[in-house]
Structure 1
């Protein structure tokens, strides 16, 4: 869910092995077409889970999705190298609504004992993207069996959600303007919500992410004699002063409607030798904000703070910012209203959740930059202490996916409401 560097991992996918999970799932699709969605969801999700691939290397997973969509009678295409999309409905018209799933896994070594656990060393679907993929594939099968006649729908299976740079801009660049719907929906499995419940809130949901590097430069003092070190400026001391003052820019990752940005420093390095005055110190962190304006306000506060520390200590301090690692994700009121109506129409439990925006991020915000849309949080908790996302023990019962398939089907069939 959060941005992290893409890493290379050998998947061990050999040509002799290529057909097994795909063929199994395709046979399952034929057997269950028009039948048990839960059985199909289980087979699809577990096939993807067994063979995870990290960001921008989802070659097998994308091929798997492509083959299934083709078997459903659809005509998928590639908007990005390992992303898949499909237009469903009357040809030649702009889709009224889009749905996004993400395909990539994480560099996490699975520790569950599930029979479908990852077969790829050091890689697992620890963020639920296997479930997202299965849910939107189930939606594709429903729509393929009974396509909309007066509008079209776009389904996107996106690469590289977990990476920086993320796959979302690549997908959007690869979609012709006439193929981009004015409204997009995304989903994310959420173990803090009970299974069967959808969490939805209007307005800011997830934070933007910008990378922050602060470089502090000191000065070398006298080297010897009674005035040794006089005139020197300790970069480490100045860096620590800055770190201690950061709460004035809202340190940490917690956001609220009234605390709209937060700066987290996760690494501080300084010095070269233990007996010398450190001449260089660097602080590396992330700035999270609920809007571009909030990010700009935080950066202005940070630069003002560094100026104060520089004057007080004599150090030179430079702030470097990498923006747009992730945009903020703000659910539009129109999309939330339609999603809430779809929950009511399908009898799915809906909860206004979370109470406040969250300091975590997701690149689905790119899809909402120029249009409406919303991300729905899909409850998958099944106990008092479910495993967190991004941990080696994360798992869920595929029954949790049935409500979101129902809600997405309703939204796909009635994108403008009833």
Structure 2
């Protein structure tokens, strides 16, 4: 039996699918979402919301007040930016921007939140205020922090804030979340070894060899999780690139090697431990080869922590829509990162995953890959979740 909220949303489905595919065909990188932001603002105004543009750069906030009395306010957040990936889906609405695509489903997130604004504006039978937050630059360019620095919650007060992301591999119609730490803190590092360089054939003994320093460093780095981090604390250290020398000059020992990578943690103590050990290991292995080392270690986002009470509220809203059996409210944490974590540090709230579906053979395309596409069939479910949550929290 179809939930009444989904029946209410069904007439919007084709319109929302068209919006999603239009956004997909015109992806924009973080802090460059001018076309997307203009589309969002236009649709919100057409639905009758008060709209503020340029929040935190290219962010948009739509404000809707219910028809019933009430002083509470909640924020619902979606992200708008795309990724620097060349699309290979071959879809008729594939990216028209070379080298850029919506490979994480932010086009769908934006569309679902727009759908919720439209549905709630058409039937605002709740008490209080909803702030529809369309955030730029989630993919590493600091959009959440920029909105917060621009006075997001001072200008658009919220007692709580909620976010949602699609989950490839999770069946359509299912939701998952957990109280407490749910997504990892994400850090990036760059370690540079400096030496003299030299002739690798005739005079290697006169050179200081950065290749040996980096080799020992890379191996030692992988021991940090196994031998320094407590066994019950999850952590990941991955090297993403090693660059030095030239393939055209195999007899030349490089004077510099640059290593980059990422670290994922769930506690500040482990995060700081890895930062410290990385610096110690870089300096030690550089000194062993009479080289020097420099370390840059920067945070992308913090651990995403769901407030237990608000996670329970989010679970309840999803369960009312699809049934308790389709909601996993104690899901495993994941080591992906999400800058909604910064909004959750400013206000209590919760982040939830909505299933993006699985093919009959069990396969799916993961986010951040060139064949990924958001599943349009789940748009009504995402809209329904937002509507269910607003009516639950604001007393409909």
Q: Do the structures match in fold with TM over 0.5?
A: yes
CA distance in 2, matches of 1:279, 1:367: 43
Indicate if the aligned counterparts of 1:236 and 1:271 stay in contact, CA closer than 8 A.
Answer: no
The reply to whether residue 411 of structure 1 matches residue 389 of structure 2 is yes
Higher normalized contact order (CA 8 Å, seq sep 6+, divided by chain length): 2
Deviations 1:209-232 (CA, angstroms, capped at 9, x unpaired): 22212122335799999xx55564
Indicate if the aligned counterparts of 2:116 and 2:386 stay in contact, CA closer than 8 A.
Answer: yes
Deviations 1:362-407 (CA, angstroms, capped at 9, x unpaired): 2211211222122211101131111121222222432212223222
Over 3 Å counting, the alpha-carbon distance change for 1:395 and 1:280 in structure 2 is: closer
User: SS in structure 2 opposite 1:152?
Assistant: strand
Indicate if the aligned counterparts of 1:48 and 1:130 stay in contact, CA closer than 8 A.
Answer: yes
The reply to whether residue 258 of structure 1 matches residue 232 of structure 2 is yes
**Gaps spanning 5+ residues in structure 2: where?**
1-6
Aligned counterpart, 1:269: 243
Aligned counterpart, 2:265: 289
User: SS in structure 2 opposite 1:48?
Assistant: helix
The reply to whether residue 167 of structure 1 matches residue 143 of structure 2 is yes
User: SS in structure 2 opposite 1:377?
Assistant: strand
Indicate if the aligned counterparts of 1:200 and 1:336 stay in contact, CA closer than 8 A.
Answer: yes
Aligned counterpart, 1:279: 255
CA distance in 2, matches of 1:400, 1:248: 42
The reply to whether residue 397 of structure 1 matches residue 371 of structure 2 is no
CA distance in 2, matches of 1:318, 1:116: 45
- TM value normalised by structure 2: 0.85
The reply to whether residue 55 of structure 1 matches residue 45 of structure 2 is no
- TM value normalised by structure 1: 0.81
Q: Which moved more, 1:130-139 or 1:32-41?
A: 32-41
> 1:194 Cα deviation (Å)?
0.5
Deviations 1:174-232 (CA, angstroms, capped at 9, x unpaired): 2251524232111111111001101112222222222212122335799999xx55564
**Gaps spanning 5+ residues in structure 1: where?**
1-31
Among 90, 110, 117, the alignment partner of 1:133 is 110
> 1:110 Cα deviation (Å)?
2.8
CA distance in 1, matches of 2:287, 2:169: 46
> 1:95 Cα deviation (Å)?
5.7
Indicate if the aligned counterparts of 2:200 and 2:252 stay in contact, CA closer than 8 A.
Answer: no
CA distance in 2, matches of 1:223, 1:401: 59
> 1:415 Cα deviation (Å)?
2.2
Deviations 1:280-314 (CA, angstroms, capped at 9, x unpaired): 32221222222333211111222333344245433
CA distance in 2, matches of 1:220, 1:284: 20
1:231-246 to 2 correspondences below 5 Å: 232-246=207-221
CA distance in 2, matches of 1:351, 1:89: 31
> 1:49 Cα deviation (Å)?
2.0
> 1:94 Cα deviation (Å)?
7.3
1:2-401 to 2 correspondences below 5 Å: 36-78=11-53, 79-89=55-65, 96-147=73-124, 149-162=126-139, 164-174=140-150, 175=152, 177-218=154-195, 230=205, 232-250=207-225, 258-271=232-245, 274-323=250-299, 325-348=300-323, 349-352=326-329, 354-355=331-332, 357-383=333-359, 384-401=362-379
Indicate if the aligned counterparts of 2:142 and 2:339 stay in contact, CA closer than 8 A.
Answer: yes
> 1:149 Cα deviation (Å)?
5.0
CA distance in 1, matches of 2:372, 2:162: 24
Deviations 1:226-284 (CA, angstroms, capped at 9, x unpaired): xx555643121111111111111239xxx999343322211222347644544332221
Over 3 Å counting, the alpha-carbon distance change for 1:233 and 1:51 in structure 2 is: closer
CA distance in 1, matches of 2:186, 2:382: 27
CA distance in 2, matches of 1:137, 1:369: 25
Indicate if the aligned counterparts of 1:215 and 1:318 stay in contact, CA closer than 8 A.
Answer: yes
Over 3 Å counting, the alpha-carbon distance change for 1:213 and 1:109 in structure 2 is: closer
